[in-house]
Amino acid sequence: MRARMKIRKCIIPVAGMGTRFLPAAKAQPKEMLAVVDKPVIQYIVEEAVASGIEEIIFVRK
């Protein structure tokens, strides 16, 4: 049986103008738009960390 490699890095694309989220994304980046009580990016980072991710890379451009 083959040993499984653990995923340690996460790449999160955060580039773009967020035009599909207008007018909400006009005042702030789409990653910072709130869902219930937290920004979307916070949910993503929390899930990645809970999954054992050790390094998170945000791609802006």
The residue type of 49 is V
Alpha-carbon span 60 to 27, nearest angstrom: 18
This prediction's pTM:
0.76
- DSSP bridge pairs for 55: 9
pLDDT, tens digit, 9 for 90 and up, residues 22-46 = 787 777 777 877 789 998 899 999 9
3-state secondary structure the chain: CCCCCCCCEEEEECCCCCHHHCCHHHHCCHHHCEECCEEHHHHHHHHHHHCCCCEEEEECC
pLDDT at position 54 is: 94
Flag whether pLDDT at 11 surpasses 90. Answer: yes
